Amino acid sequence: MLHWPFVVRLVIAVDGPSGAGEATAARAVARSLGYRHGDTGARYRAVGWRARQLGIALDDEAAVTAVAEAARFDLDDGAIRIDGHDVTSAIRTPEMDKAATLVARNAAVRTVLVARQRALGAEGGVVMEGRDIGTVVFPQAALKIYLDASPEERARRRAADPAHTSGRIAAVAEVAVDLAARDKADSTRSVAPLMKADDAVYIDTTGIPIDDVVGRVLALARERAGARGSGPGSRD
């Protein structure tokens, strides 16, 4: 028997282009609700890292797919390991940005990783972020958010993020060029291109403090859980 207050564990999908704030927002929302945070981009990155470590060319689609199939991922509070290797910082370099974009174009790799992502969210209670979460991975998600920001702001954020610049401050103009190239590759590829789901809530985060973005997503989560006769859960 279910006792009041019955808590619905929602699936919350967060998508958007690089640097729109998905990772930071998804992590904060997950923490606040006591949900798991699913960073799907980290898995595409880790597969790219592992393939290169094994000397596999990233355009060898079958070999890279075999890497994804065999991969053992451990994700814990922002840290990621693949097959026992801690790649938390190694996957956030400009080189790995490009490698991940190539891996993400591989339809067979996507099939493998999407199945794992679905398993992760099967019981709800997850905030999953990426490019295709609301469109492909969880088209039935209770709440879909599409975060965006101006290209200039996204480049500024990425350039100032030590996780993406190996601790040094990168030149914004340089980052902007790479970002534009990746956005184009991610949104024009034939399989699961980046796009807003019709029923996603669009939030332009340009000039908006991350706490406000998180507050807005939490309010929406409460609303959606309320529509299901409950609360979304909370650690508060």
Tell me the residue ranges of DSSP E strands in 69-110. 73-76, 79-82, 85-86
- Cβ contact 128:117 at 8 Å: yes
Q: E strands, 98-195, where? A: 126-130, 143-148
- Nearer to ligand DC by C-beta: 2 or 119? 119
Size of the site for ligand DC (CB under 6 A): 14
Q: Is-contact 90 96, C-beta < 8 A?
A: yes
CA 60 – CA 63 distance, rounded (Å): 6
Q: State yes or no: residue 230 binds ligand DC (CB under 6 A).
A: no
Stretch 184-223 residues interacting with ligand DC (CB under 6 A):
186
- Cβ of residue 55: shortest distance to ligand DC, in angstroms? 21
Per CB under 6 A, the segment of 54-62, 130-138, 143-151, 222-230 that binds ligand DC is 130-138
Strand ranges across the sheet with 73-76 = 73-76, 79-82, 85-86
Is 104 an interacting residue with respect to ligand DC (CB under 6 A)?
Answer: yes
Whether residue 202 contacts residue 195, with contact meaning beta carbons closer than 8 Å, is answered with: no
Nearer to ligand DC by Cβ, of 102 and 201: the residue is 102
Q: Which of 50, 157, 182, 224 binds ligand DC (CB under 6 A)?
A: 182
| Segment lying near ligand DC (by CB under 6 A), choices 68-76, 98-106, 142-150, 171-179 | 98-106
Tell the smallest beta-carbon distance from residue 183 to ligand DC (Å): 9
Q: Which residues of 87-112 are buried (b: 16+ CB within 10 A; e: fewer)?
A: bbebbbeeebbbbbbbbbbbeebbeb
**Residues between 30 and 49 with contacts to ligand DC, criterion CB under 6 A:** 40-42, 44-45
Report yes or no: 125 and 10 within 8 Å, Cβ to Cβ.
yes
In terms of C-beta density within 10 A (0-12 exposed, 13-18 middle, 19 or more buried), how is residue 151 classed?
Answer: middle
C-beta of 132 vs 148, nearer to ligand DC: 132
Instruction: Please report whether residue 175 would count as binding ligand DC according to CB under 6 A.
Output: no
Q: Which of 9, 37, 131, 144 binds ligand DC (CB under 6 A)?
A: 131
- Stretch near ligand DC under the rule CB under 6 A, chosen from 63-71, 125-133, 169-177, 213-221: 125-133
Q: Please work out, in degrees rounded to the nearest 5, the angle formed at the alpha carbon of residue 68 by the alpha carbons of 63 and 72.
A: 135
Q: Which residues are near ligand DC by CB under 6 A?
A: 18, 40-42, 44-45, 100-101, 104, 130-132, 182, 186
